[in-house]
């Protein structure tokens, strides 16, 4: 239909004031089955357009395939066409994803009526284009320099939960929006702890400038329970949580299964005491006479980025009864470990010996702590301290390496999955939520710590391997000793002058201990 000049002017004014009217009447999108079709917005998309105009910063937690990227592209087209010299940047988890959104914007322009093109494409590149009114849009990389050198009018972050290093990127980009620039961050969830999760959850509590929107799968009018059942038939629980249910906790590639994380969270309780010089020593259960305990410690690197921490566990129930996390100096930390170990019955003290951890171990030796963990360097096999003195292969402490790290993490996961460990600490729970698989390796999310998680993993490994082996070893020794002597207070020989005649059991036992030191290889297989 041909319009008069007055009608064109009226339409242009109407479109310039109302992006929804512009999109519903003049924008076309690409349909996989029907090709180019008019873009008719759904109610939730209309709400998005209103929010884009009303709020400078929008963060959208969404299910997949709701057309939010498409409505964002249409908004960009309107924004550029009816505003002069606007600079739009699109970033995503991959440059190709950002480029695809730019292509959607370009396609909308190319399908507009000629009379509506009050600004035309003047520069056309694969990843960007510019209009004759000075407005431009481009797809950017996720490097730390993206968009830093220019003032942005609008920033689109597509699949924000999956963009690596977005925390640092946002730090650099935020100042470029200071002159009134806007931001739209949208994504399906990808676990907790990342920039998108923090930004969305903080926005819900009015802790930042973002306006939050959550769009579940059923906001789409064509989706019902039957559709959901069919769609999820071959999907895992994690995929359902991520793609359809907008669940942060259940969607991430966490090492610990999301269901197990939820169960752990139900058992989080406040400690009975918060003590120590920094009140970071938390105690849930006091020492109980006759109960075996284990203390496992991690030592901070020394650069101030991480923490020194330890767990005290009741071995028979694998319950964490005490926990510390802080940043004391090495001498002070050695003193804290010494006191905590003695507080719990002079229990076995396992200290990671990586880096400056060895300095803490040497300090504990100087303090004559009675029971320090040793291991065989090549096999990481536990060896008791009195035997370690006669073994050149024995090293002080526990060594975390490329060989042992996956083993101890797997042991922790096994203990949690099989409900073999009892954790009450909120600090541990929050570290577990951000402890993920990244490129096939278990590690903390960027900007997060895993010190408590790793010391707990070492505890599970030591309990299930070293201490179990030691228990079997001790039973073997007792059997050998039992063959040499009777379990009475004196040796029962009737021959006067015979060796051990009337010698006490304790003296005989001490001699056998000396034999184990001299001939340790007999007892270690």
Nearest to 282 by CA among 253, 318, 320, 254: 320
pLDDT of residue 149: 59
Residues in the chain: 525
Cα–Cα dist 49/51, whole Å: 5
Instruction: Please check whether residue 200 is in contact with residue 175, taking contact to mean a CB–CB distance below 8 angstroms.
Output: no
Instruction: Please check whether residue 299 is in contact with residue 363, taking contact to mean a CB–CB distance below 8 angstroms.
Output: no
Instruction: Please check whether residue 61 is in contact with residue 190, taking contact to mean a CB–CB distance below 8 angstroms.
Output: no
Instruction: Please check whether residue 209 is in contact with residue 57, taking contact to mean a CB–CB distance below 8 angstroms.
Output: yes
SS3 of 380, please? coil
> Would you write out the chain's pLDDT as a tens digit for each of its 525 residues?
688 999 999 999 999 999 999 999 999 988 777 778 999 999 999 999 999 999 999 999 999 999 999 999 999 999 999 999 999 999 998 899 999 999 999 999 999 999 999 999 999 999 999 999 999 999 987 765 555 557 999 999 999 999 888 988 898 899 999 889 999 999 999 888 889 999 999 999 999 999 999 999 999 999 999 999 999 998 888 888 889 999 887 777 889 988 888 899 999 999 999 999 899 999 999 999 999 999 999 998 766 678 999 999 999 999 999 999 999 999 999 999 999 999 999 999 999 998 889 999 999 999 999 899 988 776 667 777 777 777 778 889 998 888 889 999 999 999 999 999 999 999 999 999 889 887 788 988 877 889 999 999 999 999 988 776 555 554 544 555 555 444 444 444 444 444 444 555 445 556 655 655 555 444 443
pLDDT of residue 164: 83
Q: Give the pair of three-digit tokens for residue 166.
A: 């977005």
Q: Give the pair of three-digit tokens for residue 214.
A: 């959550």
**pTM higher than 0.75 for the full model?**
no
Cα–Cα dist 143/137, whole Å: 18
SS3 of 282, please? strand
pLDDT of residue 268: 95
Instruction: Please check whether residue 415 is in contact with residue 318, taking contact to mean a CB–CB distance below 8 angstroms.
Output: yes
pLDDT of residue 459: 95
Nearest to 47 by CA among 31, 29, 66: 66
For the chain, the domains span 5-252, 260-468, 485-523
Instruction: Please check whether residue 314 is in contact with residue 292, taking contact to mean a CB–CB distance below 8 angstroms.
Output: yes
The residues, any chain, with a CB within 8 Å of residue 298's CB and separated by 6 or more, are: 308, 309, 310, 352, 357, 451, 452, 454, 455, 458
Helix axes 68-81, 95-110, angle to 10 degrees: 60
Angle at 496 between CA 493 and CA 500, to 5 degrees: 50
pLDDT of residue 303: 67
DSSP 372: B
Cα–Cα dist 97/140, whole Å: 10
Residue given tokens 């929010």 in the structure block: 51
- Exposure b/e, 418-440, CB count within 10 A at least 16 = b: eeebbbbbebbbbbbbbbbeeee
Instruction: Please check whether residue 190 is in contact with residue 164, taking contact to mean a CB–CB distance below 8 angstroms.
Output: no
pLDDT of residue 355: 84
So what CATH class is 260-468? alpha beta
Q: How large is the greatest C-alpha to C-alpha distance in the chain, in angstroms?
A: 132
Task: List the strands of the sheet with 121-124, edge to edge.
Answer: 121-124, 128-131, 136-139, 87-91, 154-158, 182-187, 57-62, 210-215
Q: Give the pair of three-digit tokens for residue 480.
A: 């050998």
Q: Give the pair of three-digit tokens for residue 293.
A: 């305990």
Instruction: Please check whether residue 413 is in contact with residue 255, taking contact to mean a CB–CB distance below 8 angstroms.
Output: yes
Instruction: Please check whether residue 99 is in contact with residue 89, taking contact to mean a CB–CB distance below 8 angstroms.
Output: no
Cα–Cα dist 168/164, whole Å: 9
Three-state DSSP string of 168-227 = HHHHHHHHHHCCCCEEEEEECCCCCCCHHHHHHHHHHCCCCCEEEEEECHHHCCCCCHHH
pLDDT of residue 522: 45
CATH classification code of 5-252: 3.40.50.300
Cα–Cα dist 368/66, whole Å: 65
DSSP 483: H
pLDDT of residue 453: 96
Mind giving me the DSSP string for 420-486? --B---HHHHHHHHTEEEETTEEEEPTT---HHHHHHHHHHHIIIIIHHHHHHHHHHHHHHHHHHS-
């Amino acid at each position: 239909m041909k319009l008069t000049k007055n009608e064109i002017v009226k339409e242009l004014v109407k479109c310039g004031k109302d992006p929804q009217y512009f999109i519903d009447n003049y924008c076309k999108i690409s349909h996989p089955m029907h090709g180019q079709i008019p873009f008719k917005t759904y109610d939730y998309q209309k709400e998005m357009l209103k929010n884009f105009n009303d709020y400078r910063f929008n963060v959208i937690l969404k299910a997949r395939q709701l057309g939010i990227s498409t409505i964002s592209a249409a908004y960009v087209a309107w924004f550029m066409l009816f505003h002069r010299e606007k600079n739009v940047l699109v970033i995503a988890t991959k440059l190709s994803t950002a480029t695809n959104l730019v292509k959607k914007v370009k396609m909308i322009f190319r399908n507009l009526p000629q009379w509506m093109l009050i600004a035309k494409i003047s520069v056309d590149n694969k990843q960007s284009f510019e209009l004759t009114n000075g407005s431009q849009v481009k797809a950017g990389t996720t490097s730390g320099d993206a968009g830093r050198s220019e003032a942005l009018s609008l920033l689109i972050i597509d699949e924000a939960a999956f963009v690596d290093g977005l925390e640092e990127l946002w730090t650099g980009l935020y100042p470029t929006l200071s002159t009134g620039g806007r931001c739209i961050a949208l994504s399906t969830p990808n676990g907790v702890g990342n920039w998108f999760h923090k930004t969305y959850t903080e926005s819900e509590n009015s802790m930042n400038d973002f306006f939050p929107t959550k769009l579940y799968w059923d906001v789409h009018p064509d989706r019902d329970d039957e559709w959901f059942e069919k769609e999820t038939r071959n999907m895992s629980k994690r995929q359902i949580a991520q793609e359809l249910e907008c669940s942060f906790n259940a969607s991430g590639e966490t090492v610990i299964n999301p269901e197990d994380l939820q169960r752990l969270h139900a058992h989080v309780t406040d400690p009975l005491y918060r003590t120590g010089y920094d009140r970071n020593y938390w105690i849930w259960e006091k020492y109980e006479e006759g109960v075996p305990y284990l203390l496992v410690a991690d030592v901070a690197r020394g650069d101030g980025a991480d923490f020194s921490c330890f767990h005290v566990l009741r071995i028979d129930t694998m319950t964490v009864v005490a926990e510390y996390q802080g940043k004391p100096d090495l001498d002070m930390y050695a003193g804290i470990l010494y006191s905590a170990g003695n507080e719990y019955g002079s229990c076995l003290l396992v200290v990671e010996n990586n880096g400056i951890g060895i300095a803490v171990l040497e300090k504990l030796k100087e303090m004559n702590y009675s029971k320090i963990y040793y291991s065989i360097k090549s096999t990481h096999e536990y060896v008791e301290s009195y035997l370690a003195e006669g073994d050149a292969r024995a090293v002080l402490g526990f060594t975390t390496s490329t060989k042992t790290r996956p083993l101890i993490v797997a042991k922790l996961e096994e203990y949690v999955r099989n409900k073999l460990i009892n954790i009450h600490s909120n600090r541990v729970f929050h570290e577990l939520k951000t402890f993920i698989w990244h490129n096939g390796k278990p590690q903390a999310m960027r900007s997060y710590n895993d010190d408590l998680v790793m010391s707990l993993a070492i505890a599970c490994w030591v309990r299930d391997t070293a201490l179990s082996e030691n228990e079997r070893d001790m039973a073997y020794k007792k059997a050998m000793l039992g063959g040499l002597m009777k379990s009475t207070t004196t040796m029962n020989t009737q021959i006067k002058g015979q060796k051990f005649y009337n010698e006490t059991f304790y003296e005989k036992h001490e001699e056998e201990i000396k034999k184990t030191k001299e001939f340790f290889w007999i007892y270690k297989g």
